[in-house]
Amino acid sequence: MALKDSYESEDAEKLAKSDYLPLTAAQAQALREIEPAVSPWRIVRLQCGVGALVALVAWGLTGEAVVGGSALYGALVVVIPAALFARGLMSRFSSINPATASFGFFLWEAVKIGVSVVMLAAAPRLIENLSWLALMAGLVVTLKVYWLALLMRAKPQKD
């Protein structure tokens, strides 16, 4: 018991010496209102829309359906793993406590990367006459949606 008390007093001393102060419940709520969270499902929906748009533009510019299909597949290489990641993060297991949330984040990030790599490796077998340039264009533009989603995040409403 004395050992536990000594650790607690050391932690209290370190906290008192640092510039960091924990937020109260009211301060945390005010911070959430100022900086609202971005839903991972909103990002996935934006990625779907942008990926479809890139595929249509690629098809329209070249007149070749295989180029549009390649761009769409590139977008799917981002969207499908992102949807798996979002589903995993929003599961009950990932929200039990901070430790399981951290583990869940890393687990689903590894799944996301693995699925992306497998999909890229399978692309030449799945799409005949694959256009790697169009595939990469679809992939890169769809990946950039993360930045767009951050810029478009909901702003707090003023009373």
In three state form, how does the secondary structure of the chain look?
CHHHHHHHHHHHHHHHHCCCCCCCHHHHHHHHHHCCCCCHHHHHHHHHHHHHHHHHHHHHHHCCHHHHHHHHHHHHHHHHHHHHHHHHHCCCHHHCCHHHHHHHHHHHHHHHHHHHHHHHHHHHHHCCCCCHHHHHHHHHHHHCHHHHHHHCCCCCCCC
State yes or no: pLDDT of 7 exceeds 50.
no
Percent with pLDDT over 70 in the chain: 82
Domains: count for the chain: 1
Cα torsion for 154, 42, 111, 67, to the nearest 10°?
-120
Q: Is residue 101 part of a domain?
A: yes
**Per-residue model confidence (pLDDT) at position 17:** 61
Q: Is residue 15 part of a domain?
A: no
pLDDT, average across residues 96-106: 82
Percent with pLDDT over 90 in the chain: 50
Q: How confident is the model at residue 1 (pLDDT cuts 50, 70, 90)?
A: very low
State yes or no: pLDDT of 59 exceeds 50.
yes
pLDDT tens string 110-141? 999 999 999 999 999 999 999 999 999 999 99
Q: Is residue 142 part of a domain?
A: yes
Average pLDDT, the chain: 84
Q: Is residue 130 part of a domain?
A: yes
Q: How confident is the model at residue 50 (pLDDT cuts 50, 70, 90)?
A: very high
Q: Is residue 104 part of a domain?
A: yes
Q: Is residue 137 part of a domain?
A: yes
Point out the least confidently predicted range of 20-24, 46-50, 143-147. 20-24
| Parent domain of 123 | 39-151
Q: Is residue 31 part of a domain?
A: no
Point out the least confidently predicted range of 8-17, 29-38, 48-57. 8-17
Q: Is residue 9 part of a domain?
A: no
Could you tell me the pTM of the whole model?
Answer: 0.74
